[in-house]
Structure 1
Amino acid sequence: MKLATYNVNGVNGRLDVLLRWLDEASPDVVCLQELKTPDARFPLKEIEKAGYGAVWQGQKSWNGVAILGRGRKPILTRRSLPGDPDDLHSRYIEAAVEGMVIGCLYLPNGNPSPGPKFDYKLEWFERLARHAAELLALDVPVVLAGDYNVIPTALDVYKPERWAEDALFRTEVRDAYKQIVDQGWTDAIRRLNPDARIYTFWDYVRNAYGRDAGLRLDHLLLSPSVAGRLRSAGVDRHVRGWQHTSDHAPVWVELSDD
């Protein structure tokens, strides 16, 4: 089974890129972030024509998350992250696919920091940590995949000294991510590539992709039973070089049969 996460940065505006990658990579499950479209404009017909079922939670102009299943429609279990009924941002969706719980998330950016947006990011992280612990307690296979907007370590950014006060790399944010991992989750990319400098995001400015001035922001966290099936993991970084593409690249894992 191949699972992937991809911040598509506008599902309608970059639909051609998404469909091209789906055809090339053939992932079994895909988590999408930054749909940037209301529910009614989600391109379901085109995605179904490509062979995928979908569940999604849109939001006009901002945010938005979806889970795609190749040859099947995921079974929706949750449309939002619990813990704050007043939070209307479309940043979390959860579904069952092939006996596995898939949580797709788009964590807040948090800039400028300090400030209200940074506080919201830390609060969202706290809610995610509580929910992640509850999922682990269920003792079922779980994957939490998405754009975490977190650079976990200095190895995950091209010039760490330039990012010390950024909300993606501040100590509070890295600690929050580590606290979730330490519950018993496996960061799939790091597990198989402990010392490699791997990026998943390159800004559009200053030829960042051409200079390989990137960040690792997109992560797949695996529960213990899923981590035991991990066989390979990688980044389809060449997709970032396509015409009119997202500033993120797809990230994926391959799992052995249960």
Structure 2
Amino acid sequence: MQFATWNVNSLKVRLPQVLQWLADSPVDVLALQELKLDQDKFPLEEIEAAGFRAAWYGQKTYNGVALLVRAPLTLEDVVLGIPGYDDPQRRVITATVDGVRVIGAYCVNGEAVDSEKYPYKLEWYAKLTEFVREQMAQHPQLVLMGDFNIAPADADVYDPAAWQDKVLCSVPERAAFAALLELGLTDSFRHFYPDEVAYSWWDYRMMMFRRNLGLRIDHVLISDALKARATDCVIDKVPRKWERPSDHAPVVLTVTG
């Protein structure tokens, strides 16, 4: 069974790539971020024609998240957003798939450490952490995946000196990421590849992808119960090479059973 996350940076623009990737890949559960679509604009007909079912939490311009599952799998007990947190931005969607609690998240970017959006990012992460804690208490088999907008360590950054104390790499952000791991989650890519230099996002400018100058900010975090079933986690760079690609690549976790 495969779980994947992909920030598609506009599902309207990237729908052909998503459908192609689903046709080419044996993924069973896909978390999408940055739909940039209103709730009533989601392309359900095309998704279902590709053999998938979906739940989504749409928002135009910037946000929006979705979970896709390959039929006959189903999405059960769907939760939109973070319960109890009055957040106007639609960034989280949760459902149970074949006994696994799946949380898809498009985490706040923060813009810059001196931006008013930066405190919102840290507050938002605190709310996410509490929500994940509650979910883990109810669901031993759990995966939290998405665009975290945090590179957890210098090994996840092409130029650590240039990014030091900058947004995505600042000490408070990395502490927020560490707080999620302290709940009992494991960064599945680093679990399998502790020393590999690999990125999941490359700026569109200055041929950053061709030069492999990127950041690893898309993650698949798994509970201990799911880690016991995990066999691999990879970053699929192929879609990043396609025409009109997202600036992110999918990250794919494989588990047994």
In the alignment, which residue of structure 2 is the partner of 1:75?
76
In the alignment, which residue of structure 1 is the partner of 2:11?
11
SS class of match (2:11): coil
Q: Partners of 2:192 and 2:18 in 1: how far apart?
A: 26
Q: Which runs of 4+ in 1 moved over 6 A?
A: none
In the alignment, which residue of structure 1 is the partner of 2:204?
204
Contact 1:65 1:105 in 2 (8 A): yes
In the alignment, which residue of structure 2 is the partner of 1:217?
217
Q: What does 1:64-213 correspond to in 2, within 5 Å?
A: 64-71=64-71, 72-85=73-86, 87-213=87-213
Contact 1:79 1:93 in 2 (8 A): yes
Identity over aligned residues, as a percent? Answer: 39
Q: Partners of 1:159 and 1:98 in 2: how far apart?
A: 40
Q: Supply the AA of the counterpart residue of 1:18.
A: V
Q: Deviations over 1:166-215 (max 9, x none)?
A: 21000000011011102210110000000001100011000000000010
Shift of 1:140: 2.4
Q: Partners of 2:214 and 2:206 in 1: how far apart?
A: 11
Corresponding residue pairs, total: 256
Contact 2:74 2:98 in 1 (8 A): no
Structure 1: unaligned runs, 5 residues or longer: none
SS class of match (1:180): helix
Deviates more, 1:209-218 or 1:75-84: 75-84
Structure 2: unaligned runs, 5 residues or longer: none
Question: TM (normalized to structure 2)?
Answer: 0.97
User: Does structure 1 residue 246 correspond to structure 2 residue 242?
Assistant: no
Question: TM (normalized to structure 1)?
Answer: 0.97
Q: Supply the AA of the counterpart residue of 1:165.
A: D
Aligned CA RMSD, in angstroms, stands at 1.0
Q: Partners of 1:76 and 1:41 in 2: how far apart?
A: 23
In the alignment, which residue of structure 2 is the partner of 1:51?
51
Contact 2:94 2:104 in 1 (8 A): yes
Deviates more, 1:210-219 or 1:135-144: 135-144
Q: Partners of 2:77 and 2:59 in 1: how far apart?
A: 18
